[in-house]
Structure formats: structure tokens, C-alpha cells
């Protein structure tokens, strides 16, 4: 069925917005062609008015921006689920965070994990410059890593091992956080990334 | 004191169950022959109780393709416009079998528990 000028214009505008929303995507033209093909396919239903079919089809696809976000999120999370790149994981979880509470949780876990790792690395790097103040202190106040507690009476127990230990802890933070967030992403892909309407 | 949580509504639980099985349903719908997007959609509607929004299906198909479970090919439909057909790769066929086996095992075990309820029909 051939759409009239107004309906054809609606379809063209939808596809144009979709193309713009996909800016930078590798398979942009292929994705646009597939959505165009889908709309044309729907128009072959001769039992209903064309404008009604187009309205229903575009509604089922969602706005062009939301549709593009779904493509991007699926693709990004797919790559992130197997990567060890902190930047890619941060990008993926940031995008995921915009779509729901689980993504928000994953983003903050990642952020805090990497923040702690950065803290360990920085303290290892600063140890030679603040040898008397940085350490693993045990004393009346309990124990603590990093700056010497005020009041004195605490003993530093790691000595020259402080830098290697904090570097190892930083690595553990990075690896643990990365693996945990990758597991969250894989879990999402298995159960919640797909959205069926009942 | 723990705050009692309301039991999830059956409709919500049912929707979650459908979501979790969607990848398997899409891959399984392509077991016999290659299909294009709208055919996958109709196959899911006809062969199961799964109604999937178009805006959900296409990104999933694309992801499964990127994962290497599907491959796609544009074919001239003879109606004046090409259609993008999806078919299972060897890895996709292996994945469907693994997922089907896991689904069957889980279903059998659950059915064993549900026997005691004795619902019929």
C-alpha cells in the first residue's frame, strides 16, 4: 500500500531523527534500512487505513531517540560484558544508569570500586614523600590505613611493605569491581535487558 | 525489624518470566529457517504467548548478531523492497541447544515441586 504525502513525510521524518540519534554508530545505515523495511512491510497490511498502520508501527518502535538508545545500550553492554577496560565499563554503566535502578547501582559500585583503587595507588605513590605519616596504623584507636591518626601511640606495621600491599589492594579493587560489574551486566543481559510486553 | 514486602503481583511475575525467556524464544524461532524481523515477531506471537514490541525486538536481533549467534542477509522479497533475513550461526545453534537443555532441566525440576499442588487444566 502506498502512503499519501503526509504519511510518507511522517515516515521520512521518523527515519531522519533515527539516523541523527544513531550518529557515530558503526552500522547506522544498515539499522535505518532495516527499520524502513519493517515499516514498509507493515504497510502491506491492506485491512486498515495507512495512517493508522503508520501510527501504530511508529508507536511500537518507540521514539527514534529511544529506539537508538536501545540499540546503543544493547551494543555497549555487550562489549562491556567481556571487557577489562575501565573506561568502556564506565561508559556502559553510565548509559545503563539512565535506564533504571540496577544500572544506577552498577554505576556507583564501579565508581566507588575504582575510587578506592585510585586511593590505594595514590597512597603507594606518596609513601616515599610522607614516610612518617602514611602507613597501616594499629593502636588504641583500632587500626587504619593511610594517614597517621592524631594523638600518637599508634604503630605502623607494614613498613617497607606498605607500597606493595597498597598496590596489590588497588589491583584487587580494580579486578574485583570489574568482575562484579561484568557479572551484573551479564545477569542483566540474561534476564532483564530484553523487554517483552505481556 | 524486617519490613514485610508485598508479594509480587502474578502479572508482574509473568512479565518477568517472559523477559527472561525472550532471547531463547527469538533464537528458537530461527531454528528451522531464516526469518526477517516481522516474521520473527509473528512467529513469537503465534508459537507462544510472547508479544514483543518492535522497538524491543530489533535491538535484540542486532545484539545477537553482534554476539555471533545470528547472521543477517538482505534478500530481495519480490515485493519491491528488500528484507533483512536472520539465520542462526553454528554458535547460535549450539547456544539454542544449551539454553533449551537448561530450560528443560529447570522446568522438570520445578514441575516436580509443583506436582504436589495438583493443578490440572
How do residues B23-73 score in pLDDT, each as one tens digit? Answer: 899 999 999 999 999 999 999 888 777 778 889 899 999 989 988 899 999
Considering only the beta carbons, identify the residue of B37, B66, B84 that sits closest to A75: B66
Q: Is A72 exposed, middle or buried (0-12, 13-18, 19+ CB in 10 A)?
A: middle
Give residue A98's pLDDT: 72
Place of cell 501510527: A55
**Secondary structure in 3-state letters for chain A:** CCCCHHHHHHHHHHHHHHHHHCCCCCCHHHHHHHHHHHHHHHCCCCCCCHHHHHHHHHHHHCCHHHHHHHHHHHHHHHHHCCCCCHHHHHHHHHHHHCCCHHHHHHHHHHHHHHHHHHHHHHHHHHCCCCCCCEEEEEECCEEEEEECCCCCCCEECCHHHHHHHHHHHHHHHHHHHHHHHHHHHHHHHHHHCCCCEC
Element of type H or E holding B24: helix B10-29
d(CA A115, CA A82): 21
Place of cell 529457517: B33
Chain A residues touching B36 at Cβ < 8 A? 37, 41
Contact (CB, 8 A) for A106 and A185: yes
Q: Could you tell me the residue ranges of all domains in chain B?
A: 20-110
Give Rg (Cα) of chain B: 18
Fold assignment, B20-110: Arc Repressor Mutant, subunit A (1.10.10)
Which of A18-27, A76-85, A163-172 shows the lowest per-residue confidence on average (mean pLDDT)? A76-85
Give residue A198's pLDDT: 33
> B98, B86, B95: which is closest to B30 by C-alpha?
B86
Give residue A194's pLDDT: 40
B65 vs A95, more confident: B65
Give residue A193's pLDDT: 39
Give residue A192's pLDDT: 44
Give residue A1's pLDDT: 56
The number of beta carbons lying within 10 Å of the beta carbon of residue A3 is 17
Question: For chain A, what percent of residues have pLDDT higher than 70?
Answer: 85
pLDDT surpassing 70 at residue B2:
no
pLDDT surpassing 50 at residue A190:
yes
Summarised one tens digit per residue, pLDDT across range A130-152 is 777 778 777 766 666 666 666 56
Give residue A55's pLDDT: 92
A94 vs B33, more confident: B33
Q: Is A9 exposed, middle or buried (0-12, 13-18, 19+ CB in 10 A)?
A: exposed
d(CA B41, CA A61): 13
Beta bridge partners of B83: B75
Angle at A151 between CA A147 and CA A157, to 5 degrees: 50
Chain A residues touching B81 at Cβ < 8 A? 37, 40-41
| CB-CB under 8 Å, B82 with A37 | yes
Which of A23-27, A171-175, B6-10, B55-59 shows the lowest per-residue confidence on average (mean pLDDT)? B6-10
Give residue B115's pLDDT: 80
| CB-CB under 8 Å, B53 with A71 | no
Mean pLDDT of chain B: 83
| CB-CB under 8 Å, A75 with B23 | no
Give Rg (Cα) of chain A: 26
Q: How many CB pairs under 8 A join A and B?
A: 96
Give residue B88's pLDDT: 97
Give residue A141's pLDDT: 62
Amino acid at each position: 500500500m502506498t502512503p499519501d504525502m503526509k504519511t510518507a513525510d511522517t515516515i521520512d521524518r521518523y527515519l531522519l531523527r533515527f539516523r541523527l540519534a544513531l550518529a557515530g554508530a558503526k552500522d547506522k545505515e544498515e539499522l535505518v534500512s532495516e527499520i524502513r523495511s519493517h515499516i514498509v512491510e507493515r504497510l502491506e497490511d491492506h485491512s486498515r487505513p495507512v495512517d493508522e498502520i503508520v501510527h501504530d508501527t511508529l508507536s511500537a518502535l518507540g521514539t527514534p531517540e529511544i529506539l537508538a538508545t536501545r540499540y546503543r545500550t544493547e551494543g555497549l553492554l555487550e562489549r562491556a560484558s567481556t571487557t577489562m577496560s575501565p573506561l568502556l565499563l564506565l561508559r556502559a554503566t553510565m548509559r545503563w544508569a539512565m535506564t533504571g535502578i540496577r544500572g544506577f547501582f552498577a554505576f556507583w559500585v564501579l565508581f566507588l570500586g575504582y575510587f578506592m583503587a585510585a586511593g590505594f595507588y595514590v597512597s603507594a605513590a606518596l609513601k616515599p614523600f610522607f614516610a612518617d605519616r602514611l602507613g597501616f596504623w594499629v593502636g588504641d584507636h583500632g587500626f587504619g590505613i593511610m594517614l597517621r591518626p592524631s594523638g600518637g601511640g599508634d604503630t605502623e606495621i607494614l613498613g617497607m611493605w606498605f607500597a606493595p600491599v597498597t598496590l596489590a589492594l588497588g589491583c584487587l579493587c580494580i579486578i574485583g569491581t570489574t568482575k562484579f560489574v561484568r557479572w551484573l551486566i551479564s545477569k542483566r543481559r540474561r534476564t532483564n535487558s530484553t523487554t517483552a510486553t505481556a | 525489624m524486617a519490613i514485610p514486602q508485598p508479594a509480587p503481583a502474578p502479572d508482574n511475575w509473568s512479565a518477568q518470566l517472559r523477559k527472561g525467556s525472550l532471547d531463547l524464544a527469538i533464537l528458537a524461532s530461527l531454528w528451522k529457517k531464516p526469518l526477517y524481523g516481522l516474521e520473527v515477531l509473528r512467529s513469537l506471537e503465534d508459537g507462544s504467548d510472547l508479544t514483543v514490541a518492535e522497538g524491543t525486538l530489533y535491538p535484540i536481533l542486532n545484539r545477537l548478531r553482534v554476539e555471533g549467534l545470528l547472521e543477517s542477509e538482505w534478500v530481495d522479497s519480490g515485493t519491491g523492497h528488500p528484507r533483512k533475513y536472520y539465520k542462526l550461526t553454528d554458535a547460535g545453534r549450539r547456544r539454542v541447544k544449551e539454553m533449551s537443555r537448561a530450560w528443560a532441566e529447570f522446568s522438570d525440576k520445578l514441575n516436580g515441586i509443583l506436582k504436589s499442588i495438583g493443578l490440572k487444566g
